[in-house]
Structure 1
Amino acid sequence: MATNPRYDGKPLLRLLELYVLWVIGELSQDDQVKLNAIAPKLQTIYGGAGQWHEAIAAAARMPSEMPDVIRDMWARNLEIARANGVTLLPQKFAEMFVDENLAA
């Protein structure tokens, strides 16, 4: 799904970003299809109840309210960006959120 050096040696990093994109409604259809296809493997590796995003949440030991936290932070950051006349790209937000809140 990604060949960026950012993810070298960090297999969960990109999946966490995709989880954030899914939560904020910005996951591409292509990524959704790929993630649905590998959901059984992710569940075997990380646990969860069968859907890819549940496996990622289990891997990161996310609390059940994490999607609400992410959506709230996305909304706040969009407002800050607008107030400063800049555009906050969903991928950039996902990277920032993961780096600051989920990456070890």
Structure 2
Amino acid sequence: MTDRYTDKPFLRFVDAWVLKAIGHLDPATETYCKAMVPQLEQSFGLKGSWERIVEQQMKFGPELAAQIRKIWTDGKARFEHGNGTAPDPVQFAYLFVDKNLQKD
């Protein structure tokens, strides 16, 4: 899914933010995001953690992470009940971002 970020490099951080909100951000991606903080600070003129920069840049409210976590938890239970398998957190993050958080 590498073309997801072509011409939209910041989208990687938004996806990671959602994955972190639902407790499914993998350590490699978190390490990458942390390493990119100086570039994010320079690009956006903001200071703070990568999570805070995403929140400021996207104008996320303080309650958004909890709301996303609830949607994930409630939807996960329904999905498991209906399909007998666990949903894919990465696919959830992509769909959630595409449907709710894209600026364009």
The bucket for the TM-score relative to the shorter chain is 0.7 to 0.9
Q: Distance in 2 between matches of 1:33 and 1:52?
A: 10
Quote how far apart the aligned CAs of 1:40 are. 2.4
Calculate the TM-score normalised by the size of structure 2.
Answer: 0.87
Q: Distance in 1 between matches of 2:46 and 2:71?
A: 24
Calculate the TM-score normalised by the size of structure 1.
Answer: 0.87
- Structure 1 gaps of 5+ residues are none
Match of 1:95 in 2: 94
Q: Distance in 2 between matches of 1:80 and 1:47?
A: 41
Change (3 A) 1:43 1:7: same
Residue 32 in 1 paired to residue 30 in 2? yes
Moved >6 Å (runs of 4+):
none
- The Cα RMSD (Å) is 1.6
What amino acid maps onto 2:40 in structure 1?
A: L
What amino acid maps onto 1:7 in structure 2?
A: Y
Q: Distance in 2 between matches of 1:42 and 1:51?
A: 9
Identity of aligned pairs, percent?
28
- Structure 2 gaps of 5+ residues are none
Give the length in aligned residue pairs.
102
Match of 1:72 in 2: 70
What amino acid maps onto 1:79 in structure 2?
A: A
Quote how far apart the aligned CAs of 1:47 are. 5.0
